[in-house]
Structure formats: structure tokens, C-alpha cells
Structure 1
Amino acid sequence: MTTAVLFGVGAMGGRLLRVLEADYPSIEIVAAIDTDAAKIGRTLADVTGYQRFGGVKIVGDLVTALADLPKRPDVLVHMTESKPHLIKEQLLAALNTGLNVVSAAESMFYPGLRYGEFAEALDSAARANGVSITGTGINPGFSYDVLPLVLARGTSAVTRLTIRRCIDVTGTGPGDIEHVGYGLTPEEFNRRIADGRVEGHMGAPESLTRIADALNLEIDEITEAWDLETADFEVDSGDPTLGVLPPGRVIGITQRARALHQGSEVISTSLAMYYQPEKFNLVEEDRIEIEGAMPVMMSIKPAMQSLFGAANIMANTIVPLAAAEPGLVSPLDLPTGGTVRGVARYAVDPSRQAKPGYLPVSRKV
């Protein structure tokens, strides 16, 4: 059994509990943390409605969470904020307590690219305490990087990749709302893009550089652009803090990123993030096209869900991370198959006769 502490009982944390309630019998949540005073002292069942770990009480800090546990848990599942300066001390505290950490923060997927000092501090703390830390989710962590690289295993001499993703973000939590820019006026959105307060999807440059690394593609610059969408009708954000957005507010963003070499496009991504995209004649889809010795094209309709998909990726990372070598770990280096969900294995059943076209099997604990 792998034991875990849940840090962040918001939109993502609730979906992780949904995942674990339906699957993953080898993972157990033994403590929960949230900084929201309205949640502290309540149980996970009270806040989320999920029952498997429903009796666990939410506390306000890591020290309190660990105080009454009979032994140190294996992993802290971190689902609070995305920006390095907001999460650095949370992550270091967990590492210095001797916990492995898997974070949903986009900045944790490949922090060494843009946040070198942050990455070095985490790597040093993890190694000093003999634990591992990584960041993953649906994107980055799957749709923009792991999945394209799995598909690219089936071809060679890759020259170009195109990734298109359109998703419904209804119900996303305050952390994402703040850095993506939903609910703003167009004028305020553009001001915040210009001064860096709004970044949209965080992690496209990291995904593009990791793909280029893995496939030996030469790039020398990455560009990003943001197109916004407003509506002339009210749109429900699905989040209680943002509520129903009046006409004229940002309810959709399409973020385009391009990796170039000497001015020519090598990798391109497009991510359309909308509340209720069907109202704008958009189709939810993940689409990957790889140009190489054998062209590869894959489409997933509807697209992998943003929050629920990320929660599933996180659940699949918990056990492999606990077994990883100490230090800052890339999710690309963890087993593609993720966490083994069962506690038994199948084998040939010797009590029944095998014959051509028929193989009896049974589960062995």
C-alpha cells in the first residue's frame, strides 16, 4: 500500500479523490491539507462528497497533517498553485520532511528551462532527503509531450509535429483562472498578457523543448500568441468564485506556440480553452500529426478532459514516483504504463486444460 497526503482540496483535489474512489486500491490518502479556513476541520467527505477516504480531516499545514500519523506517508500529492514563487516553500517543506512529491503545477513539468534556481533548490533538497519530486498532469505531462513521443516511437526521421487540443474548462479552479485570464475584460486581459500576469497555459515551451530533445529536432526560438473570445450572452464558469460571467468577458482563449529553426516551423501547438466550447461551434478534440518516414496521425474525440484527465495522470504517477531515484524527476522518465492498479497478477490456471484457441487464466495474489 502506498500512502499519500493530499495538499489542496479544490477542483483538482476533488477529482483525484473521485479517481481513487473508483480505482487504485493500492493507494491510500491518510491526511489532507488546505489553506482555506472554510475547509479546515471538515472531512474530505464533507467537502468533496467522496467516501473512500471521507473520514480524513482537513488541516491547515503539513506539520499538523503528519503529527498523529503512525508513520511517515510515502508521497505528498500537491494541487495548490502553479507559479514557482507561490509553491516553492510548500514543496521544500514536504521534501525536507522526507516525502516524495508529485505536483500538478504546470511549472513543475520541466522547471529547469525557465526557473533554474527553483529547479536546483528542489533537486538538492530531494537528493539530500533521499526522495523524488516531479510535476505532471494532462498538459503538460501527457497530451503535449508523453503522448506525442509514444506515437513517435512508431516512426523515424521526424521532421515536424503539429498538436491541436480543444477542451471544455468549465469548473476549473481559482489557481488556473488567475493565470489563464478567464472573466477579464479584453482590455485587461491584453494588459496582463503584456506585463506577464496572465500566461494562459503554462508549459508549452517546456513541452516543445522536451519533444525537440527527445526527437533530435533543431530549434532556436519559441513564440507564443493568445487569441481571446468573448460572448454576447452569459456563460457559466462552473466555479463558485467566478460564477456566471456577463456578456463581454473573456470566456475562451486559444493559445498558439511554435518552435522554429532559422525561421521555419518545426513544432506547433494550439490549445483552445473554453467555457462551453460547443456554443462557439468548437469540437473538443486532441489531434496529433507527425511528419516523418511514416506519417502518423491520431485524433481523440472528445478530447481528454482537462481536470479529470489531469487527476488520472496524477494517480498514475504516485506509485512510480515513490520508487524513483532521488532528485527532480521528469515524468518522461517514469514508466509509461503508470501505476499498476491491481494487487494481483494473472497466470495460466493449471486446474483447467489449455488447448488451441483456449487459455484458462486466474488471478494470483
Structure 2
Amino acid sequence: MLKIIQVGLGPLGNMLAADTIRRGLGEIVAAVDVSPELAGRRLGDVLPQNMPASSGVSASVRIVRSLDEVPASLRPDCAVVSTSSDLAKVAPTLFALISRGIPIVSTCEELLYPWLRHPRLADDLQTACARHNGRVLGTGVNPGFIMDALPVLASAVCRSVRSVHVWRIQDASPRRVPFQQKIGAGLDDKEFAKKIEDGSLRHVGLGESLHFIAKYLQLGADTGGITRWEESIEPVHATRDLDCALGPIPRGRASGVRQVANGYTGGGKTSAPERCIITFEFQAAIGQTDPLPQDRIVLDAEPPIDLTIKGGVHGDIATVAITLNAIRPLLAAPAGLHTMATVPAVHCAG
């Protein structure tokens, strides 16, 4: 049985810890969270009440506020880190774990493809992994699967791919509260615009997914790769009075967010005309019905590919599942900073 450290016990970390135990994937030997309200409490006291009787050892673990309080003698097999979307904020935790030689699977969105926004930090992580025989992987349902790893996998049956278009349309009603907050549910237009400006309202990861696909499919490789990319964001307005975990949403207020990202190749200093090679359309809103929730992947390819998941993949369940399913593939991978395209195939295993 794997020995696992859970770092971060917010709503997502709580779900990760609970599923680790429920699925019998491993024993949680340490739990870390900076919240003073959690310090010293038993892990079992903050997890759902319907945990299996076999969860005794993991449930008895006392939550600590720092990795420094985790004894080196524990020798865990892996750490699961679910603390922030911002790689710069997560980095100190990653380096601390790498220095102990502990492999890491993290839900940090920017870690899916860190070379986009944090190239120097990515190089430092790779260097640290080489020095300490470490392994690091960022994953999740999106980024991590629907809008990046799955389109790349779908291309396995293609002779060539000219462009990629992915839609992820979600009804955010059943999602956890932090997600509903992140998409601006319940805000008026002024509040929505302010949060866009300060960077607190957006789905994180479209740029990372876009560059992930371009790299591994070699899209535009003969015309400079992605020479320009852009991202737009706007509110989805409630067309009727709604209700969600955050409270009531009056008609006309934001029920969620719509983001579109496009990646282009050619143009500029190249001799080739500019063309769009990747388009993402992401929409998540409370009570989303038009268009209906779905995940759709279209490859303009030989042969053409058109995949649709009706209803879409449930984000919270899937993020927890793929994060835990990625542990053993990461352990089987060589030392280094990994992506979902460089570890062995991730799949459900019990």
C-alpha cells in the first residue's frame, strides 16, 4: 500500500484525501494545511462522516501546518499537493518535497505546462528533480485531460492534424463553492469586471492547454509553432432567477463565465500567412442549458475526429480521480518534471 502525504485540505484536498481512503489507494501518513483552524485536528475529523471502517490509520493522522513538521522517517511514496492554481505560490512546497526525494502529483493548473508562464521556475524544478531523483506532475480534468491530454491521445489514429477545436460547456450547479466563486456566479457586471482586472476571476489553464497541444502535436512546427495567442473572457448572464451554493442569483447577474482562447501560427516575422491552429471555448455557468453541457473535441485531421461527451465530465469527481490515478504512472516514470504526455498512460486502477 502506498504511503501518501496530502498537502492542502481545502474542499478539493478534502475530496482527494477521502477518495484515497475510500478507494484503498494508499495510507495517508501525513496531512498538511496552513489553516490554524485545522492544526492539530485528526484528519478523520475533517473528512466526510461516511468513511469506511478501514480508514482508521489515515483518519488518526494529526494535521500539521508545515512540511517541516512531517518526520523524515515517514518515507512516503508520494505527495498530493492541492493548494493553489498559481505555480509561484506552490513552488516552495514543491522544492521542499523534491529535496526529500518525494514524488509529487499536484492539481496546480499552471504546473500542467509550466514553461508558458514560468520558464525559469520550470528549469529550476527540472534541475532539482535531477539532483534529488524527484518526480513532479501537474494534472486535473482541465487542464490535464479534456482540453489537452485527450485531444493529443485522440490524434493517435491520425496521419496528420491541421487544427484543433475543443469545447467544454458545464453546468456549474453541482460544483464545489470555490469553483462557483472562481467563475463569478452571482456578481453584477461591475463586480465581474473588477475581478477580471485583478486576475481573481478566470478559468486557469487555457493557455497551458493550448501550448501543450501545440508542442506534442507539433502544430505549426514549420511556421514557428504558436507565434501568437489570445484569450477573451466575459460573463454569462442569468436569463432567469437561479439558486446555487453561493445563494440566489437574480436574473441579469452573472451566472458564470465564458472564455475563448485561440492560438495562431505564421504571420509576423515568418513568411507564412497567419492561421488559427487551436481554438478553445470554455463556458461554465449555474443552470447552463444553452448550449447543453458537453465536452467536444474536433480535430481537422486525416482522418477527421469528432468526439462528444454528452453532459460533460463532472469536474470535481474527475479532478480527484485523475490526480489519484496518476500516482502510480508517475512513480513508474524517470526522474524529472513531467507532463501528462511524458508519464505512462494514466487510467483507472481500482
The CA distance in 1 between the partners of 2:62 and 2:116, in whole Å, is 38
**Residue 147 and residue 72 in structure 1: after superposition, are their counterparts in 2 closer, same or farther (change >3 A)?**
same
The aligned residue for residue 11 of structure 1 is 11
The aligned residue for residue 235 of structure 1 is 243
The CA distance in 2 between the partners of 1:173 and 1:89, in whole Å, is 27
The CA distance in 2 between the partners of 1:173 and 1:48, in whole Å, is 17
The aligned residue for residue 158 of structure 1 is 161
Question: Does structure 1 residue 30 correspond to structure 2 residue 41?
Answer: no
**Residue 234 and residue 7 in structure 1: after superposition, are their counterparts in 2 closer, same or farther (change >3 A)?**
same
The aligned residue for residue 66 of structure 2 is 61
8 Å CA contact 2:326–2:346 kept in 1: the answer is no
The CA distance in 2 between the partners of 1:39 and 1:129, in whole Å, is 31
1:178, distance to aligned residue in structure 2 (A)? 6.6
Kindly provide the amino acid, as one letter, of the partner of residue 16 in structure 1. L
The aligned residue for residue 41 of structure 1 is 40
The CA distance in 2 between the partners of 1:22 and 1:47, in whole Å, is 15
The aligned residue for residue 349 of structure 1 is none
1:316, distance to aligned residue in structure 2 (A)? 0.9
1:177, distance to aligned residue in structure 2 (A)? 6.0
1:182, distance to aligned residue in structure 2 (A)? 4.3
Q: Which has the larger radius of gyration?
A: 1
| Residues 34-70 of structure 1: per-residue CA shift (max 9 Å, x gap) | 1222222222322121343322222211122x22x75
The CA distance in 2 between the partners of 1:117 and 1:249, in whole Å, is 40
| Residues 313-350 of structure 1: per-residue CA shift (max 9 Å, x gap) | 10111122223222211121111244644xxxxxxxxx
Q: CA RMSD in A?
A: 2.3
8 Å CA contact 1:12–1:308 kept in 2: the answer is no
* Structure 1 unaligned regions, length at least 5: 342-365
The aligned residue for residue 326 of structure 1 is 335
Higher mean displacement: 83-92 or 252-261: 83-92
* Structure 2 unaligned regions, length at least 5: 221-225, 268-273
**Residue 16 and residue 227 in structure 1: after superposition, are their counterparts in 2 closer, same or farther (change >3 A)?**
same
Identity, % of aligned positions: 29
8 Å CA contact 1:15–1:311 kept in 2: the answer is yes
8 Å CA contact 1:235–1:251 kept in 2: the answer is no
The aligned residue for residue 277 of structure 2 is 266
Output aligned runs, 1:1-365, within 5 Å: 1-23=1-23, 25-49=24-48, 50-51=51-52, 52=55, 53-64=58-69, 66-67=70-71, 70-169=73-172, 170-172=174-176, 174=178, 176=179, 180-193=183-196, 195=197, 197-198=199-200, 200-218=202-220, 219-231=226-238, 233-236=241-244, 238=245, 243-247=246-250, 249-261=253-265, 262=267, 263-278=274-289, 281-338=290-347, 340-341=349-350
Report the secondary structure of 1:311's partner residue. Answer: helix
Kindly provide the amino acid, as one letter, of the partner of residue 57 in structure 1. R
1:272, distance to aligned residue in structure 2 (A)? 0.9
The CA distance in 2 between the partners of 1:288 and 1:246, in whole Å, is 31
